[in-house]
Chain A
Amino acid sequence: MIPSKFDYIKVSSLNEAIELLDKHGYDAKILSGGHSLIPTMKLRLNSPELLIDISSVPELNSITLEGDEIVIGANCTHHAILSSEIVNAHINLLAQTAKCIGDIQVRNRGTIGGSLAHADPSADYPATVLACDATIVVQGKQGERSIVASEFFQGIFTTAIENDEIITSVRFPKVANGNYQKFYQSASRFAVVGVAVVKEENKVKVGITGVSDTPYRATAVENAYDGTATAASHAVDGIDVMSDHFADVNYRSHLAKVYVKKALEA
């Protein structure tokens, strides 16, 4: 459990991080909480030459209310999110989601930016980010840009972030009525199925993680929604469902329907 040799630079500003990222390209990795990156390095599945530690960049650590949006700095830990007054008051769904991640140690170290950038297909946030139509704000050499959630997740561990870009914040709309339901894998406690539902007048928005190699908006459910939970039967329509020894395609599809139903009924 010893990684290959690497250099380590702790930056104090975003620009410094972007400079370094631009200079070192694929040989560099951004380090925040390190909860996904460090284990893969210890197993030597990942051997970056440089780690750029952004944990001390002050502007990435805040949770603020900007008009109708809740802006979560990329470095906010899961614990900071679940215990934030702003989050609990305006988007309780996000607090519920953060509460489901890992254990106390993980929640105290892991960050929302790190989780989203890593794009584990079984991570919890993607379902909620999708259901809320959140915006992921990234900054790179070319400046800042916003990526809508529906375009952010592109595949297993793959996102729309360019190599010289860093997530700086995630912007959520206020959500009055939402909930997150998770069936966890008994070993890793990642989501076998994670369903975030945002209920609005006469319609729902449903984000699903864990089921496919890319988290998705369950548009089939949303279209079929009639105010009851019967639309849950469309949870995996048109979706290429993952299979592993905890849940094969049949069982995972079944769980997706059960958990969409739970989320719709909650």
Chain B
Amino acid sequence: MGQFIGKAVKRREDARFLKGAGTYTDDIKLPQMAHTAFVRSPYAHAKVIDIRIKKAQEADGVIAVYTGNDGCGEYGVPCGWQVDFKNGDTMREPMHPLLVKNKVKHVGEAVAIVVANTLAQARDAAELVEVDYEEMEAVTCPKKAMDEGAPIVHDDWPDNASFDWCIGNDRTAVEEALANAHHVTEIKYRNQRVAPNAMEPRSYIADYNVNDDKWTLYTSTQNPHLIRLLLCAFVLGIPEHKVRVVSKDVGGGFGSKIYHYTEEALLTWISKEIGRPVKWTSDRSEAFLTDAQGRDHMVESKMGFDKDGNIVAHLTDEYCAMGAYLSTFAPAVPTYLHGTLFQGVYTTPLIHLNVVAPFTHTVAVDAYRGAGRPEATYLLERIISKAAKEMDMDPAALRLKNFIPPFDGVNEPGYQTQVALQYDSGNYHATLKRGLEMVGYEDFRKKQEDARKSGKLLGIGISTYIEGCGIAPSAVVGALGARAGLYEVGQVRVQPTGKVSVFTGSHSHGQGHETVFAQFVADKLGIPMDDVIIEHGDTDQVAFGMGTYGSRSLSVGGSAIIKSIEKILEKGAKIAAHKLEAAEKDLEYAEGKWTVKGTDKSISFGDVSLTAYVPHDYPEGLEPGLDFSSFYDPSNFTYPFGTHIAVVEVDAETGKVDLQRFIACDDVGNVMNPMIVDGQIHGGVAQGIGQALLEEVIFDNTGQMISGSYMDYALPRADDLPMIETDRTVTPCPHNPLGVKGAGEAGAIGSTPAVVNAVVDALAHLGVTDIQMPLTPQRVWRAMQQ
């Protein structure tokens, strides 16, 4: 620990965020900036017969109207991850056009864009674009998409499969073990589609400068460098060194701003066509129709137990929607980010997961807070609670019985799972025991029994999750189909006055990097936090970066910065030794100065910094300057884990769920800033509760989204949530320098099944065994009637 590490330092970025003084992309107004409005398909599946743009072209203030026939980005937007069929056939990867020419494949797909002097003019003119469609039958359910005779999304292939995939042990062995099991629990459900709903909608400004032949793209993205790479190398074929991508303040992402979207590329293309900067900002209605969404798995699963309650095998079949096109990381989500977590925290000896990933006539599905791990956790934690009920065992006891024993990854080796990964360190018993203590488990069971006698429906639900963060190393993920590396870049530039600028390839879109990164940099250098500034989100400032997702910023991005700090201190020691006329080995560094051991001779970090830039009296042969950049490619994922417990009361008359308590005891490794970790947990838990109780993207049978506004899509509000009670255990990550594991997604991963388990527990004595999410009052009431 140091002066700042582990302290609840208040977030320095909040000074601007809380005052409404952040600079989001839509706040940027460039001279001569043009505005745009899209003409989007009202149909989920339709042939485009004719597009008439003449009236729009002639409308007030219109600069240009473009359609798919104007030659914008002929290659379309690529996918960043390739998962081939089990039989070796290549993944089916449809061309994802910037504007559709022939056939629209989901509601909201763009067929034309109007560019005008003002936004109002663009909107007015967009209404004058006439499009003739021939509507066709659509399919939105991933399972039905694989039915014989289902409407085909992409005519290039005979069916809707993009790929299929499996992981784990041999299927036959798993089936045999299930056949011989003492007890088999089955579960069947849909992990429903949800919409990410970042507070800031997507927004882009492209600015081509003809004099410099350079582009600047301001974009609300989670990873500016990756956007630049995809945009330049794959979509538009423009030179990467002449493109600057800026994404400074970004108002939330939850995954949905990782991906390279068609609008980003189209605006970049248009800016050069018209020779002016051009802006598009999504409105909320467009966000529902075009932001990549989450989940959408149809699941059938069986878990077998021996007579003592030990898990003997687990077999699962899933249909996981891709949507109409493959979004940047979509194929990785139901596969390598999902199947690899099927071990959970249990010693299950035989596991098999089979995934079919179909196209559907819907907007794309991709990573949404947790990305595949919430879906894995939901399955494991629901099925084990269901099994406990069936076997008349306590759900906590059944978990404890099947837990992987504690291991620290240093003295005891990591845990090799049946599904490819090796866990770094874990102590699953500790968080469950603490969680049970926090909730007062024994007392609650008594209270529950009494309540039932008076007709009150109380329930408790447990979820003991594990997840994988900071997906790595690059060579491994490359072998699994990633088309990018998954390292991070951290540059530490010490200025002549000893002030420190850190350039990170991680990207903050609300997480608090400007504070947390400054905390450990200041501690490691022994200087005040005020002397450290964190820069991110500009490809002209930051050498390179892979951005932020998968809870990777601190464990991967932070580690890259640590590597650079080590280089700074190593070089600084050489300069200090020279100035102090001592040997390097005789120096020690603490509290911002090098001291000759056992003496009071010392030189400060600031003096060494100045010497590095004014190298008059300087070590021979040593380069001037104090500025290092490092790439850090982790040796493994990190594996946070924890226990979430929900307590609910169900209204017997209406089925409405009152979530009375929520306990989260998480282990995210070492903690840099407990306040920020708590905030991340709170936010994630709120989103997980949202999925459990409220949120669902619903399509009608023609493929129309009937939950496309906040009138019909229910996000959790403050009064839907109880106070979230948090605590932690600390099991450091053994393979990164800060010992951190990541906290961004844990809340969303652990919470959902805890809530559903609690509701099912409340109604168990009525014979309720499953309820489909979200647990709306209507669904709960219906379950009670059956």
CA gap between A243 and B712 in the complex, in Å: 13
Query: A247 and B778: CB pair below 8 A?
Result: yes
Q: Indicate whether A196 reaches chain B with its CB closer than 8 angstroms.
A: no
Contacts A247-B778, A251-B778, A255-B654 given; does A2 touch B123 at CB 8 Å = yes
Q: Is A4 an interface residue (CB 8 A)?
A: yes
Decide if A2 touches B781 in the complex (CB within 8 Å): no
Instruction: Jot down 11 A-B pairs with beta carbons below 8 A, ordered by A.
Output: A2-B119, A5-B120, A44-B127, A186-B694, A187-B694, A187-B712, A245-B706, A245-B707, A248-B778, A251-B781, A258-B653
The residue on A at minimum CB distance from B653 is: A258
Encoded as 1 (CB less than 8 Å from any A CB) or 0, chain B from 628 to 670 comes to: 0000000000000000000000000110100000000000000
Question: Is B240's beta carbon under 8 Å from chain A?
Answer: no
Pair B714/A187 contact, Cβ less than 8 Å: yes
Q: Which residues of chain B from 715 to 774 have any CB-CB distance to chain A below 8 Å in the complex?
A: 715, 720
Task: Assess whether A188 is interfacial by the CB under 8 Å rule.
Answer: yes
Q: Is the CB of A183 within 8 A of B654?
A: yes
Q: Which of B453-506 contact A (CB under 8 A)?
A: none
B407 within 8 A of A: no
Contacts of B654 in A (CB 8 A): 183, 255, 258
Q: Which of A182-209 contact B (CB under 8 A)?
A: 183, 185-188, 190
**B711 CB contacts on chain A under 8 angstroms:** 187-188, 190
Find the A residue at minimum CB distance from B781. A251
B714 x A186 contact (CB < 8 A): yes
Chain A, interface SS category = loop
Q: Does B540 contact A (CB under 8 A)?
A: no
Interface positions of A (Cβ within 8 A of B): 1-2, 4-5, 43-44, 183, 185-188, 190, 245-248, 251, 254-255, 258
Using CB atoms, name the residue of chain A closest to B778. Answer: A251
CB-CB nearest 10 A-B residue pairs: A187-B714, A186-B714, A1-B283, A188-B711, A251-B778, A2-B123, A258-B653, A2-B120, A187-B712, A186-B694
Proximity bits, B112-130, A CB within 8 Å = 1, else 0? 0000000110011001000
A43 / chain B contacts, CB cutoff of 8 Å = 285
Chain A residues, Cβ within 8 Å of B276: none
CA of A1 to CA of B698, assembled, Å = 22
Within 8 A of A (CB), among B688-703: 694, 698
Question: With the chains together, A187 CA to B716 CA distance in Å?
Answer: 9
* Nearest CB of A to B449, in Å: 26
> Is B284 an interface position by the 8 A CB rule?
yes
Whether the pair B712, A245 counts as a contact (CB closer than 8 A) is yes
User: Which residues from chain B contact A258 at a C-beta distance below 8 Å?
Assistant: 653-654
Chain A residue at smallest Cβ distance from B652: A258
Interface centre among B653, B707, B713, by most A CB within 10 Å? B653
Structural contact, A254 and B781, CB atoms closer than 8 A: yes
Knowing that A1-B285, A245-B707 touch, tell me 20 more A-B residue pairs with CB under 8 angstroms: A1-B284, A4-B124, A4-B127, A5-B124, A183-B654, A183-B777, A186-B694, A186-B714, A186-B776, A187-B710, A187-B711, A187-B713, A188-B712, A245-B706, A245-B712, A246-B776, A248-B778, A251-B777, A255-B654, A258-B654
Smallest Cβ-Cβ distance to A103: which chain B residue:
B717
Complex contacts, A254 vs chain B, CB 8 Å: 781
B278 CB to closest chain A CB (Å) equals 17
Using a Cβ cutoff of 8 Å, how many contacts connect chains A and B?
49
Expressed in whole angstroms, the minimum distance between the Cβ of A124 and any Cβ of chain B is 16
Does B452 count as interface, using CB distance less than 8 angstroms? no
Bound Cα distance from A188 to B714, whole angstroms = 8
Check B241 for interface membership: any CB of A closer than 8 A. no
- From residue A166, how far is it (CB to closest CB) to chain B in Å? 27
Complex-state Cα separation, A2 to B121, whole angstroms? 10
Chain B residue numbers with a CB within 8 Å of A186 are 694, 714, 720, 776-777
Which residue of chain A has its CB nearest to the CB of B696? A245
Given known pairs A43-B285, A255-B654, A258-B653, the reply for A246 and B710 (CB within 8 Å) is no
The yes or no answer to B782 lying at the interface (CB within 8 A) is yes
Residue among A2, A4, A254, A255 with max Cβ neighbours from chain B (10 Å): A2
In Å, the complex CA distance between A187 and B720 comes to 11
Question: Is A246 touching B124 in the complex (CB atoms < 8 A)?
Answer: no
Chain A residue contacts of B778, Cβ below 8 A: 246-248, 251
Q: Which residues of B contact A255 (CB under 8 A)?
A: 654
In the bound complex, residues from chain B placing their C-beta under 8 Å from that of A183 are 654, 656, 777
Minimum CB–CB distance for A39 against chain B, Å: 9
Using Cβ atoms and an 8 Å threshold, which residues of chain B touch A44?
A: 127
Expressed in whole angstroms, the minimum distance between the Cβ of A136 and any Cβ of chain B is: 26
CB distance from A233 to the nearest CB of B (A): 13
Please indicate the chain A residues that have their CB under 8 angstroms from the CB of B120 in the complex: 2, 5
CA distance A261 to B781 in the complex (A): 17
Q: For residue A246, which residues in chain B have a CB less than 8 angstroms away from its CB?
A: 776, 778
CB distance from B114 to the nearest CB of A (A): 13
With both chains docked as a complex, state the minimum distance between the C-beta of A246 and any C-beta of chain B, in angstroms: 6
Expressed in whole angstroms, the minimum distance between the Cβ of B429 and any Cβ of chain A is 37
Determine the distance from Cα of A188 to Cα of B707 in the docked complex, in whole angstroms. Answer: 11
Instruction: List the B residue with the shortest CB-CB distance to A258.
Output: B653
- In the bound assembly, the distance between CA atoms of A5 and B120 in angstroms comes to 8
Interface centre among A4, A44, A186 (most CB of B within 10 A): A186
- Minimum Cβ distance to chain A for residue B321 (Å): 19
Closest CB of chain B to A192's CB: distance in Å?
A: 8
> CA A246 – CA B656 in complex, angstroms?
12
Residue of B nearest to A251 (CB): B778
Known: A1-B284, A247-B778. A188 touches B710 (CB 8 A): yes
Q: Which of B123, B656, B698 contacts A245 (CB 8 A)?
A: B698
- Chain A residues near B713: list those with CB within 8 A: 187
> Bound state CA distance, A190 and B653, in angstroms?
20
Residue of A nearest to B655 (CB): A251
Given contacts A186-B694, A186-B776, contact A251 B284 (CB under 8 A): no
Q: Chain B nearest CB: distance from A181 CB in Å?
A: 11
Q: How far is the CB of A238 from chain B (nearest CB, A)?
A: 23
Chain B residue with minimal CB distance to A193?
B654
Complex: chain B residue closest to A250, CB-CB: B782
CA distance A254 to B283 in the complex (A): 37
Docked CA distance A4–B119 (Å): 11
Most buried by A among B694, B710, B781: B781
CB neighbours (8 Å) of B776 from chain A are 186, 246
Kindly state the separation between the CA atoms of A187 and B654 in the bound complex, as whole angstroms.
Answer: 17
Q: Report how far A44 CA is from B37 CA in the complex, Å.
A: 14
Shortest Cβ distance from A145 into chain B, in angstroms? 34
In whole angstroms, how far apart are the Cα atoms of A255 and B720 in the complex?
20
The answer for the CA separation of A187 and B284 in the assembled complex, in Å, is 15
How far apart sit A166 and B712, CA to CA, in the bound complex (Å)? 31
Nearest CB of chain B from residue A261's CB, rounded to whole Å = 8
- Least distance between B283 CB and chain A CB atoms (Å): 4
Q: Closest approach, in angstroms, between the C-beta of B144 and any C-beta of chain A?
A: 18
The listed residue with most B CB atoms (<10 A of its CB), out of A187, A245, A246, is A187
Residue of A nearest to B60 (CB): A5
**CB of B438 to closest CB in A, whole Å:** 28
Q: Which residue of A lies closest to B281 (CB)?
A: A1
A202 to B698, CA, bound (A): 47
Give every chain A residue within 8 A of B698 (Cβ-Cβ). 245
Q: How far is the CB of A107 from chain B (nearest CB, A)?
A: 15
Residues of B within 8 A of A185 (CB): 714
| Contact residues in A for B656 (Cβ distance below 8 Å) | 183
Chain A residues positioned under 8 Å from B707 (CB to CB): 187, 245
Question: In the complex, what distance in Å separates the CA atom of A43 from the CA atom of B289?
Answer: 14
Chain B: minimal CB distance from A180 (Å):
17
Separation of A5 and B60 alpha carbons in the complex (Å): 12
The answer for the CA separation of A44 and B128 in the assembled complex, in Å, is 13
Closest to B774 in A: A186
Distance between Cα atoms of A174 and B384 in the complex (Å) = 58
Q: Smallest CB–CB gap between A266 and chain B, Å?
A: 14
Q: Which of B706, B712, B715 has the most CB of A within 10 A?
A: B712
Min CB gap B60→A, angstroms? 10
- Measured in the bound complex, the distance between the Cα atoms of B119 and A137 in whole Å is 41
Assembly CA distance A175 to B706 (angstroms): 40
Q: Report the minimal beta-carbon distance from A262 to chain B, rounded to whole angstroms.
A: 9
Residues of B within 8 Å of A190, CB to CB, are: 711
B93 to chain A, nearest CB (A): 34
